[in-house]
Amino acid sequence: MSTEVKDYFPLNKLDEIVYTSNHDLIQENANVDGNSPMGQMSKVSAEVTKSYAKELILSEDVRQAIDENYIHPHDLDFLITGTTTCCQIPLGKVLKDGFNTGHGHMREPKDIVSAMALASIIFQSNQNMQHGGQSYPMFEYDLAPYVNKTFEKNKKRIQSYATSYTAEEIDEIAWQETNRDVYQACEAFIHNCNSMHSRGGGQVPFVSINYGTDTSKAGRLLIKNLLLATKAGLGNGETPIFPIQIFKMKKGINFEPGELNYDLYQLALETTAKRLFPNFSFIDSTFNKVHYDGTPESEVAYMGCRTRVMANRHGEENGVQRGNLSFTSINLVKLALAAKNEFDYFKLLDYYTGLTIKQLMERFDFQTKKKAGNFPFLYGQHIWRGSENLQQEDKLGDVLKQGTLSIGFIGLAEALVALTGKHHGESEESYQLGYRIIQYLRDRVNQASEDYDLNFSLIATPAEGLSGKFTRKDQAVFGKIPGITDRDYYTNSFHVPVYYSIKSIDKAKIEGSFHRLCNGGHITYIECDGDVSKNIKALDVLVRAMAAADIGYGAINHPVDQCGVCGYSGIIENACPNCQNADESRIGRIRRITGYLVGDMKRWNSAKCAEEKERVKHQ
């Protein structure tokens, strides 16, 4: 091995992966089994390609900012591939046109069972084209035609033998059979999402679905059965961790008694009480309703942990056939520790924000030099907007400008403690400073959009591995400073610290004010205690509190445990209340880590485990 190559070849990290001696390194992503052969191969590849990108592609000042712990380009290991982060897939269009995964053409399905089976395959195929998540933004609208096809097929069959039945009786029987077919299709879809591996076998696809507003008979039937299948769980009653499900709240459709889909909202509350999904998005929030024109395409849709793609300088302002190109996070805590005062802090913030914009543009330029043929499913099957006329040798600049470039941030709470002595949950003065900091970032994002004529956005970073990585490096320089660096993690984005006791309505109000600034994505969690399935009314109150606080995307956390012996799902203290199993290795503790669920907390890194232990319940 030449000296030049050895300089960026991370041999020490490879040893830690090969001998699984660094749990935090191999489990930076709890969705990947870092101990498995394919998980290890993926991690080895990631560390080598990250080093290659840093040493041979990134600018010197960007590399220095990374090494000094000020910024973090996410998924740096994928930079050399030119992949984009995520995409909202036009499921209805892909199903109607048919698609090719590289081994033959899949024609349009003729019923809901086939349609949902193909929906799983589309997710799996596209996952290998991007390094982030995938989403269906109009899930029930796209699949309702295939519910109707199933009904017509059932009706035709019944008519062939039930000659003495009236037309109304035939329709009733056909809908009953269609209801059964839809449930089985939903059940199979959920099972597929939790069992089909991608990326060389390292993980199941990271997928989301948005639904809740289709009031047609077929659409409502699909939503109902999807929720019922989710509530029932997997084969042994396990809670499905994918797809991430997002129920879209809309006044006039599902928000109040008497509205057509209000019953489905109630079922969604029952389901989230048992399975933690669905989460809830709010079409009527001030920053989401500006895009809404009454069409399904204009309804806001979220991806995975929190990603939101709506505004667009180069076409229609909706999320369909678009996604995030890449994002880079700023360490707000390190800036505060390095600053002498508030004025100095904003000078540093200005410098590193500019450097982050530079880095995002350099990565964008690298992505645009890739060819459509490098991503045969993403562009060959017209998943991405504007790719319909691309030939294999065409470069991607004209279509990638439809996507977003995002600046993220982490540790607002700890940064405020460093600057004022208190975080934004305990001091109005600190809150005002925190708001000015995030407003400043949003202003810089808006200016970058103007300067480069691209869709820059601000995202509330879903820090998983980064949460502890930033902290450990800062501890090595500054030591353990109370309230700032004395924990194993930094607080996610603009969140009030998980360990701080605060009423749920106050938490929603404080965090909700930041949602409008973070146009690239955001989420707020409320932590509940005990068996919430016994108090659905309280969950309804929490969802309404989120809506009143102008939250765009929210979720309700509560303990969900799974006995690996008898399949019991609920709260397990020291032993399973059903079979008395007390073997902790056979009890799954299902918790939300950044926006998605993990069925085994043994895969969590130490920083997120520490954070989970300190989460207080909100009253």
Same domain, 458 and 415: yes
User: How many separate domains does the chain show?
Assistant: 4
Same domain, 233 and 379: no
Of the listed ranges 57-71, 173-187, 484-498, 583-597, the least confidently predicted one is: 583-597
- Final residue of a structural domain among 471, 494, 521: 521
Q: Which of residues 340 and 38 earns the better pLDDT score?
A: 340
pLDDT higher at 271 or 585: 271
> Do residues 27 and 130 both lie within one domain?
no
Rounding to the nearest 10 degrees, give the CA dihedral for residues 229, 232, 237, 239.
70
> For 104-114, what is the mean pLDDT?
96
Look at residue 597 in the predicted model and tell me its pLDDT. Answer: 78
Same structural domain, 76 and 113: no
**With 60 as the cut, is the pLDDT of residue 568 above it?**
yes
Model confidence pLDDT, tens digit, residues 313-349: 999 999 999 999 999 999 999 999 999 999 999 999 9
Amino acid at 158: I
Q: Can you give the pLDDT at residue 569?
A: 81
User: In terms of Cα–Cα distance, which of 213, 291, 289 is closest to 246?
Assistant: 213
What would the pLDDT profile of 7-22 be if each residue is shown by its tens digit?
555 667 666 666 666 6
Percent of the chain surpassing pLDDT 90: 75
Residues 175 and 210 both lie in one domain: yes
Domain assignment of residue 546, yes or no: no
In angstroms, what CA-CA distances link 152 with 98, 108, 165, 172, 533? 21, 16, 16, 12, 37
Q: Is residue 252 part of a domain?
A: no
Q: Is residue 21 part of a domain?
A: yes
Q: Say yes or no to pLDDT of 122 above 80.
A: yes
In a domain, 146, yes or no: yes
* Domain identity same for 213 and 170: yes
Task: Please tell me the least confidently modeled range out of 231-240, 328-337, 430-439, 509-518.
Answer: 231-240
Q: Please tell me whether residues 33 and 143 are part of one structural domain.
A: no
Residues 39 and 133 in one domain: no
Whether pTM exceeds 0.95: no
CATH number reported for the structural domain that contains residue 443 in this entry:
3.20.70.20
With cut-offs at 50, 70 and 90, classify the pLDDT of residue 1. Answer: very low
| Residues 401 and 477 occupy one common structural domain | yes
Q: What is the mean pLDDT of residues 560-565?
A: 87
Above 60 in pLDDT, residue 5? no
Per residue in 200-226, pLDDT (tens digit) is: 556 788 899 999 999 999 999 999 999
The answer on 94 and 28 residing in a single domain is: no
DSSP per position, 577-595: TTT----GGGEEEEEESSS
SS3 sequence of 444-460: HHHHHHHHHCCEEEEEE
State yes or no: pLDDT of 599 exceeds 90.
Answer: no
In a shared domain, residues 132 and 156: yes
DSSP state of 210: E
Which domain range does residue 481 map to?
Answer: 69-85+324-521
Alpha-carbon gap, residue 513 to 508, rounded angstroms: 8
